[in-house]
Amino acid sequence: MATLAGIIQRVRSEVGDQPAPFVDTFVGGDELSSYDLSEVNVTSAQAKVTGPAGSLDLVQDTDYVLNPAEGSILLINPAYSPLQHGQTLIVRGQSEGMFTDADLTTYVTDAMNQHTYGRSLRTRYRDGNGNIKYDNEPIDLDNLPPVEEPLVAYLAVINVLWTMATDASSDIDVNTAEGTFVPRSQRYRQLMEHLSELQARYNTLAQQLNVGLARIEMFQLRRISRTTNRLVPVFQSREYDDTSRPERLLPPIDGDAYDDESGIPSPLYPGTWG
């Protein structure tokens, strides 16, 4: 059975965005109270101040305020704000990487909705009266076939890389008068090339399994009655031994572009035409 945590771990492995511990040391100079940590998206942090009098563990929201998203710490206790000469601030913690688990949960949810759109699992069973029935259950993480787990992860990685490419699209190449050239736009080009390869990888596997938004589907053409000019009802196809009541289908009707906007009412004769 697929799990959200397992797919998120797959996505982190594909993107190279693994959680990492960090240790930052800041030397006081009677000037600063705010310090930038070496990591962003901090999940946990422990801070302490060392000095000639020894070391003291700081209490969050009492001695300092942590900004987990930006990865910064602000000392608010007057005894350490600003950090004095001879004092050292040591911060140990754990970071989630570029993307938090909440961010990746959104990407995985979008990938699941796209990959399993319009699909369900049909189960055959007998009810309490001995009649054969069929149950259609939407596909989710609990019943996702194991062979499709990598495809959901690939699709989530594609969504993540699009976010990274959008961020890199604003980078411009740097040329200096001394002849230094920094091709910052190369990151965007490399991301787009990898996106194309990963999209082709997903499309190939999805076509082989006939899953995803581009899978081959069979539809029923709707017939219009010659006597009433109305669409003939369409019902869900059923197995030979399915004793449940017929299920009505309501396929979409594309006709908004041809709507009559004159406001003139049309004659209506119930049961015949109109």
Same domain, 235 and 197: yes
268 pLDDT band (50/70/90 cuts)?
low
The total of structural domains in the chain comes to: 2
Same domain, 238 and 144: yes
pLDDT digits (tens, 9 = 90+) for 37-56: 998 889 889 999 998 878 88
| Calpha distance 37→25 (Å, rounded) | 9
Please state whether beta strands 72-75 and 174-175 pair in parallel, antiparallel, or not at all (unpaired). Answer: unpaired
Using the predicted structure, report yes or no on whether residue 149 has a pLDDT greater than 90. Answer: yes
Using CA atoms of 111, 114, 117, 121 in order, give the dihedral in degrees to the nearest 10: -30
- Percentage helix, strand, coil, to 5, in the chain? 30, 25, 45
Residue that terminates a domain, selected from 66, 95, 124: 95
80 pLDDT band (50/70/90 cuts)?
confident
Same domain, 143 and 243: yes
Select from 7, 213, 10 the least CA-distant residue to 114: 213
What is the share, in percent, of the chain residues with pLDDT greater than 90? 46
Same domain, 61 and 87: yes
Same domain, 52 and 125: no
Select from 195, 213, 201 the least CA-distant residue to 116: 213
Same domain, 104 and 189: yes
Q: Is position 259 within any domain?
A: no
Q: Is position 176 within any domain?
A: yes
Average pLDDT, the chain: 88
What is the share, in percent, of the chain residues with pLDDT greater than 70? 96
Give the domain range for residue 81.
Answer: 19-95
Same domain, 75 and 102: no
Q: Is position 171 within any domain?
A: yes
Q: Is position 263 within any domain?
A: no
| Calpha distance 92→77 (Å, rounded) | 19
Select from 154, 163, 147 the least CA-distant residue to 112: 154
Mean pLDDT over residues 72-77, rounded?
Answer: 92
Same domain, 128 and 25: no
Same domain, 46 and 83: yes
Same domain, 51 and 110: no
| Calpha distance 49→46 (Å, rounded) | 11
Same domain, 40 and 176: no
Q: Is position 255 within any domain?
A: no
pLDDT digits (tens, 9 = 90+) for 150-180: 999 999 999 999 999 998 998 888 888 887 8
Same domain, 241 and 164: yes
